[in-house]
């Protein structure tokens, strides 16, 4: 331990060292240290693209399916003479973006000035450093031993979206290609949760856009956890996500500790790569927040990644993004970017215990008052971690659950355009047409996409009545029945190792063989009720909000239903044009103030 | 219409006669969007921000005469302050600090020494604790979100000397290992100080240089003391 005397001796030396350091960096600054720049180009005159050669067959099929042109000017290559000129003048070219007709490079101020004078250059913009943070938290250490609660959570994280319904219908994401942008996929290629995935060579391509090399099984395990929420399995074959038979493109776009603005470029490069290689869905469990932006800039038009995500949607890819984990951060609280993008499906987190918004999940709306998050899924899940399986928290994991859901829905209705799918996913959610800025439209439901399950009109469950200056919401007697919940013999008896024989038949962890195809086992199984009998019932809450004439919410609330007279609202709380909207047990009713 | 009559009547009755307890409900989530989305005016890159900081600087530069030579490296100033910053635009901000500063001048014990007298001691310093205020103009560069970022400040400061101490230490005397003497309320010290400077910072760290324009000693005192070194070069650490 340093004594005060030691400190007195050390302090001047430290100060001197600091001063020398500053002086040397100041001297270097005068010489012009290299900095990162975007060189925005004027045109693509004279360039051509043979879409059939540039785009992979799945990418061409995706565009054809959605009635998009085979290619447009954003797909054309950047003019090679422009790139050559820039390379000749700069230290390093880090990215050439067709979509933005721009070149990212490192250059000294003098070189940047020379770049500005080039004939094809529209602008040269400085790129400052900023963090891109994985939207997840790890509450508990990983553990190879799975408890009954873990197995139940694994069932419920897919069951809450209607996973078993998709399975019985043979919808497992087959034929869909999903790109995952993340920090790294450590041990994903060796983990027992992905044995089948790798054995069937369904990880089609990998690329590390940070270090520009193919190995993505480095850098961090966040991507491994995210991948497991799409295609991971427990040793007994229980799926952890909804798309265990999809194909995957794994992209590393982020550094784990040293986080730079270059990651936004990497995201863009990965999106272009995913487009070219036929991705149908991009899952991005990442988000930029305070270091680079203000909450009021979360409008989908400011950040590079939000604009890149919008372009990806225009190319026919569904972009699913985690809403963010800043819900309990008073200085930010709202969604990050690119979740703010208008066409980006922002996924919030749901508490598996209460089926309510989990506190850390970022709230909407976007800065321009659009609905965000769009939908929710479990924000606490069982995921494959490098050292086994682990319960992890974060909207990072809600996002891949939803991406898997989207893959199944698209598999069912392959002719949908990306925005039709986007709308349908929102419409399938359990609160729709009701929404709020914590839950969006709620949790999407698989049954909505089954052809023979056209939903019947939901019976009215309550009435809104006006008496003088009070609006009263009264639950109808027929909707006031609370369903009994039958206890299972064992909490995890639905699919877990309920018997000693079944437990004994499970291979040891680390020695698992690929389990039979889930769709085969699911189809072979006798039809049962939707969902697992052991899953606790979804609590029925009453949701209500007040929206203004632009349908922007003024306030919203969720109430526990413990009596039929559930809500009294003084009319003075409604301004002219406002709408009171109430949702209970799938039935939504509105009252508009004149 | 018939099925609606009963709920309507019941609702009306409840509206008027139901006691408060009947109306009490457990609210699981309540958000007022207008309150939740109020644009904050306080933050590192918002309209206003304030934070505490700690600074340590070394006295530097030549003394006004050989009689005021210092022990460089030991002569230093510690500051503890509160910084208030008002943003004018993304690159421009104004600020005002209030702080406690304690400059200490360790006098070199040489034959030419005249401050505050020619007597040599084993150790001797003048400490002039002050209350200071400092105004600055900040130019930031680079796009950033709600963060301090990188900046250059031009600053001017003034202060009032709260107390003044002439402390010296001598060797063994009259059975004591050492003898320490402190003289307070020095009549020859100027009570008002002021100066100018610049600061170069990034986030919570900054390098600061200040030049004292005022004199340490009163002009009219006899003997006339040579001026102490005017420069201060140091580092700042902010609590953001």
Are the Cβ atoms of A333 and B36 closer than 8 angstroms?
Answer: yes
Residues 21-40 of B with CB under 8 A from A: 22-23, 25-34, 36-37, 39-40
* Residue pair B193/B159 in contact by the 8 Å Cβ criterion: yes
Closest residue, chain B, to A467 (C-alpha):
B12
Helix ranges (DSSP H) in A90-182 = 109-116, 148-159, 163-168
Higher-confidence position of A136 and A555: A555
Minimal C-alpha gap between B236 and chain A (Å)? 10
Distance CA B154, CA A288 (A): 32
pLDDT digits (tens, 9 = 90+) for A32-55: 678 888 899 999 998 888 888 899
Closest among A358, A368, A359, A316 to A337, alpha carbons compared: A368
Cα A348 to the chain's mean position, in Å?
8
- Whether A504 has a pLDDT exceeding 50, the answer reads no
Owner of token pair 């190879």: A144
Closest among B78, B43, B38, B41 to B58, alpha carbons compared: B78
What are the tokens at A8?
Answer: 């007195």
Residues A296, A298, A300, A302, Cα dihedral to 10°: 70
- Whether B16 has a pLDDT exceeding 90, the answer reads no
* Residue pair A276/A269 in contact by the 8 Å Cβ criterion: no
Nearest to A12 among B14, B25, B74 (CB): B74
Minimal C-alpha gap between B152 and chain A (Å)? 12
Q: Which residues pair with B194 in a beta bridge?
A: B158
- Whether A261 has a pLDDT exceeding 80, the answer reads no
Residues of A marked active site are found at 182, 222, 396
CA distances from B80 to A23, A509, B101, B176 (A): 24, 58, 7, 36
Q: Can you say whether the dihedral through the CA atoms of A297, A301, A306, A308 is positive or negative?
A: negative
Q: What is the reported pLDDT for A128?
A: 60
Q: What is the reported pLDDT for A507?
A: 41
Closest among B228, B222, B238 to B193, alpha carbons compared: B228
Higher-confidence position of A544 and A146: A544
Q: Reduced to 3 states, what is the DSSP secondary structure of residue A234?
A: coil
Q: What is the reported pLDDT for A1?
A: 39
Distance CA A171, CA A409 (A): 8
Higher-confidence position of A34 and A222: A222
- Whether B21 has a pLDDT exceeding 70, the answer reads no
Nearest to A560 among B26, B36, B234 (CB): B26
Closest among A320, A355, A316, A335 to A243, alpha carbons compared: A320
The DSSP-derived string for B45-74 is: TSSEEEEEEEEEEEEES--SSGGG-B-TTT
Element (H, E) at A591: strand A587-592
B106 belongs to a structural domain = yes
Nearest to B147 among A291, A474, A567 (CB): A291
Average pLDDT over residues A101-116: 90
B53 Cβ contact list (under 8 Å, min separation 6): B79, B80, B81, B82, B83, B97, B236, B237, B238, B239
Q: What is the reported pLDDT for A521?
A: 43
Q: Which residues pair with A544 in a beta bridge?
A: A557, A582
B21 belongs to a structural domain = no
Minimal C-alpha gap between B226 and chain A (Å)? 25
* Residue pair A286/A253 in contact by the 8 Å Cβ criterion: yes
Distance CA A422, CA A406 (A): 8
Residues A9, A14, A19, A22, Cα dihedral to 10°: 180
* Residue pair A120/A80 in contact by the 8 Å Cβ criterion: no
B24 belongs to a structural domain = no
- The count of residues in chain B is 240
pTM assigned to the model: 0.77
Question: What are the chain A neighbours of B14 within 8 Å (beta carbons)?
Answer: 472, 474, 565, 568
Distance CA A347, CA A397 (A): 9
Nearest to B145 among A12, A293, A363 (CB): A293
Nearest to A290 among B8, B22, B145 (CB): B145
Q: What is the reported pLDDT for A136?
A: 55
- Chains A & B: contacts with CB separation below 8 Å: 140
- Whether A57 has a pLDDT exceeding 60, the answer reads yes
Q: What is the reported pLDDT for A513?
A: 41
What are the tokens at A314?
Answer: 């225009």
* Residue pair A318/A282 in contact by the 8 Å Cβ criterion: yes
| Helix, strand, coil share of chain A (percent; to 5) | 30, 25, 45
- Whether A81 has a pLDDT exceeding 50, the answer reads yes
The DSSP-derived string for A325-388 is: S-TT-TTT-B--BTTT-TTSEEEEEE-TTTSSB-TTSPB---TT----S-EEEESEEEEEETTE
B9 belongs to a structural domain = no
Q: Which residue range(s) make up the domain with B120?
A: 34-239
Are the Cβ atoms of B145 and A557 closer than 8 angstroms?
Answer: no
pLDDT digits (tens, 9 = 90+) for B76-99: 999 999 999 999 998 999 999 999
Question: What single DSSP character describes residue A228?
Answer: H
Radius of gyration of the CA atoms of chain A, in A: 26
Are the Cβ atoms of A331 and B233 closer than 8 angstroms?
Answer: no
Are the Cβ atoms of A560 and B25 closer than 8 angstroms?
Answer: yes
Average of per-residue pLDDT values in chain A: 84
Minimal C-alpha gap between B14 and chain A (Å)? 8
Closest among B22, B65, B48 to B225, alpha carbons compared: B65
B7 belongs to a structural domain = no
* Residue pair A38/A104 in contact by the 8 Å Cβ criterion: yes
B175 CB burial (10 A radius; 0-12, 13-18, 19+) = exposed
Question: How many C-beta neighbours within 10 Å does residue B204 have?
Answer: 14
Are the Cβ atoms of B200 and A559 closer than 8 angstroms?
Answer: no
What are the tokens at A196?
Answer: 């089948």
Question: What are the chain B neighbours of A26 within 8 Å (beta carbons)?
Answer: 200
pLDDT digits (tens, 9 = 90+) for A84-104: 999 998 878 888 999 999 998
CA distances from B106 to A6, A383, A497, B128 (A): 17, 63, 78, 12
What are the tokens at B238?
Answer: 């902010």
* Residue pair A70/A60 in contact by the 8 Å Cβ criterion: yes
pLDDT digits (tens, 9 = 90+) for B190-224: 999 999 999 999 999 999 999 999 999 998 888 88
What are the tokens at A253?
Answer: 């776009």
Query: Percent of chain A scored above 90 by pLDDT?
Result: 62
The DSSP-derived string for A241-282 is: SS-TTSEEEEEE---SSS--THHHHHHHHHHHHHHHTT-SEE
CA distances from A50 to A47, A72, A379, A491, B122 (A): 10, 11, 43, 57, 87
Cα B47 to the chain's mean position, in Å?
20
pLDDT digits (tens, 9 = 90+) for A356-410: 999 999 999 999 999 999 999 999 999 999 889 999 999 999 999 999 999 999 9
Average pLDDT over residues B136-145: 88
Put simply, whether B144 touches A (Cβ < 8 Å) is yes
Radius of gyration of the CA atoms of chain B, in A: 30
B20 belongs to a structural domain = no
Structure confidence at residue A519 as a pLDDT band (50, 70, 90): very low
Closest residue, chain B, to A328 (C-alpha):
B36
Structure confidence at residue A416 as a pLDDT band (50, 70, 90): very high
Question: What are the chain B neighbours of A13 within 8 Å (beta carbons)?
Answer: 73
B4 belongs to a structural domain = no
CA distances from B55 to A31, A257, A357, B199, B232 (A): 29, 29, 44, 12, 11
A542 Cβ contact list (under 8 Å, min separation 6): A462, A473, A475, A558, A559, A560, A561, A566, A567, A582, A583, A584
Average pLDDT over residues A509-516: 40
Distance CA A442, CA A462 (A): 20
Distance CA A111, CA A56 (A): 37
Total domain count, chain B: 1
| Helix, strand, coil share of chain B (percent; to 5) | 10, 50, 40
Specify the pairing of strand A462-467 against strand A470-475.
antiparallel
Structure confidence at residue A491 as a pLDDT band (50, 70, 90): low
B19 belongs to a structural domain = no
- The count of residues in chain A is 594
Owner of token pair 């030991």: B74
- Whether B22 has a pLDDT exceeding 60, the answer reads no
End-to-end CA distance of chain B: 64
- Whether A307 has a pLDDT exceeding 60, the answer reads yes
Task: Please give the domain boundaries of chain A with CATH numbers for all domains.
Answer: 32-126 (no CATH), 133-449 (3.40.50.200), 462-483+536-592 (2.60.40)
């Amino acid at each position: 331990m340093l004594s005060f005397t030691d400190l007195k001796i050390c302090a001047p030396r430290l100060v001197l060292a600091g001063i020398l350091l500053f002086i040397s960096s100041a001297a270097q600054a005068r010489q012009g240290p290299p900095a990162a720049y975007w060189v925005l180009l004027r045109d693509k005159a004279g360039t051509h693209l043979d879409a059939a050669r540039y785009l992979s067959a799945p990418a061409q099929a995706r565009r054809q399916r959605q009635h998009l042109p085979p290619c447009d000017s954003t797909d054309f290559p950047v003019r090679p003479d422009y790139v050559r000129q820039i390379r000749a003048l700069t230290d390093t070219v880090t990215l050439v973006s067709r979509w933005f007709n721009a070149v990212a490079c490192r250059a000294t101020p003098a070189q940047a000035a020379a770049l500005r004078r080039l004939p094809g250059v529209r602008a040269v913009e400085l790129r400052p450093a900023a963090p891109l943070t994985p939207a997840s938290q790890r509450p508990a250490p990983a553990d190879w031993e799975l408890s009954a609660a873990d197995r139940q959570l694994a069932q419920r994280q897919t069951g809450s979206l209607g996973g078993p319904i998709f399975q019985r219908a043979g919808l497992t994401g087959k034929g869909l290609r999903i790109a995952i942008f993340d920090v790294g996929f450590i041990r994903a290629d060796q983990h027992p949760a992905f044995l089948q995935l790798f054995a069937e060579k369904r990880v089609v391509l990998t690329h590390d856009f940070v270090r520009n090399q193919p190995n993505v099984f480095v850098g961090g395990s966040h991507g491994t956890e995210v991948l497991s929420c799409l295609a991971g399995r427990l040793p007994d074959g229980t799926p952890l996500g909804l798309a265990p038979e999809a194909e995957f493109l794994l992209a590393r776009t982020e550094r784990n500790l040293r986080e730079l603005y270059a990651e936004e470029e990497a995201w863009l490069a990965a999106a272009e790569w995913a487009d070219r290689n036929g991705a149908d869905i991009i899952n991005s469990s990442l988000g930029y927040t305070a270091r680079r932006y203000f909450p009021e800039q979360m409008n989908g038009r400011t950040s590079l990644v939000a604009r890149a995500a919008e372009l990806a949607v225009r190319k026919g890819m569904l972009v699913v993004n985690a809403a963010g984990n800043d819900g309990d951060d008073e200085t930010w609280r709202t969604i990050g970017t690119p979740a703010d993008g208008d066409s980006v499906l922002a996924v919030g987190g749901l508490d598996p215990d209460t089926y309510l918004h989990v506190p850390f999940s970022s709230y909407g709306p976007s800065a321009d008052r659009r609905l965000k998050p769009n939908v929710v899924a479990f924000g606490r899940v069982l995921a494959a971690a490098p050292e086994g399986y682990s319960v992890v928290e974060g909207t990072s994991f809600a996002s891949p659950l939803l991406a898997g859901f989207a893959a199944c829905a698209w598999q069912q209705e392959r002719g949908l355009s990306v925005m039709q799918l986007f709308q349908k996913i929102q419409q399938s959610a359990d609160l729709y047409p009701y929404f709020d800025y914590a839950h969006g439209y709620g949790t999407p439901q698989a049954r909505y996409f089954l052809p023979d399950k056209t939903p019947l009109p939901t019976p009215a469950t309550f009435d809104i009545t006006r008496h003088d200056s009070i609006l009263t919401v009264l639950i109808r007697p027929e909707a006031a029945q609370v369903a009994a919940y039958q206890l299972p013999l064992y909490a995890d008896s639905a699919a877990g190792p309920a018997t000693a024989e079944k437990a004994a038949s499970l291979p040891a962890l680390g020695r698992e063989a690929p389990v039979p195809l889930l769709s085969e086992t699911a189809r072979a199984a006798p039809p049962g009720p939707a969902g697992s009998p052991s899953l606790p019932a979804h609590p029925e809450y009453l949701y209500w909000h007040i929206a203004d004439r632009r349908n922007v919410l003024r306030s919203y609330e969720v109430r526990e239903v413990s009596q039929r007279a559930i809500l009294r609202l003084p009319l003075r709380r409604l301004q002219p044009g406002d709408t009171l909207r109430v949702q209970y047990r799938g039935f939504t009713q509105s009252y508009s103030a004149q | 219409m018939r099925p609606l009559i009963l709920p309507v009547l019941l609702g009306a009755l409840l509206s008027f006669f139901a006691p408060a307890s009947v109306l009490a409900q457990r609210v699981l989530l309540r958000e007022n969007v207008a309150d939740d989305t109020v644009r904050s005016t306080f933050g590192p890159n918002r309209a206003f921000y304030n934070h505490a900081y700690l600074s340590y600087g070394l006295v530097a530069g030549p003394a006004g005469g050989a009689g005021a030579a210092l022990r460089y490296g030991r002569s230093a100033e510690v500051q503890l302050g509160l910084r208030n910053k008002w943003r004018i635009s993304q690159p421009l901000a104004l600020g005002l600090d209030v702080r406690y500063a304690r400059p200490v001048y360790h006098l070199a014990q040489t034959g030419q020494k005249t401050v505050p007298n020619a007597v040599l001691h084993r150790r001797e310093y003048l400490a002039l604790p002050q209350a200071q205020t400092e105004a600055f103009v900040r130019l930031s560069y680079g796009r950033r979100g709600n963060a301090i970022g990188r900046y250059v400040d031009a600053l001017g400061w003034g202060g009032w000397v709260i107390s003044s101490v002439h402390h010296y230490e001598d060797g063994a005397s009259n059975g004591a290992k050492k003898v320490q003497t402190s003289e307070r309320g020095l009549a020859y010290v100027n009570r008002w100080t002021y100066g100018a400077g610049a600061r170069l910072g990034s986030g919570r760290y900054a390098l600061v240089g200040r030049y004292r324009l005022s004199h340490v000693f009163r002009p009219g005192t006899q003997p006339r003391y040579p001026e102490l070194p005017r420069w201060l070069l140091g580092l700042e650490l902010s609590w953001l």
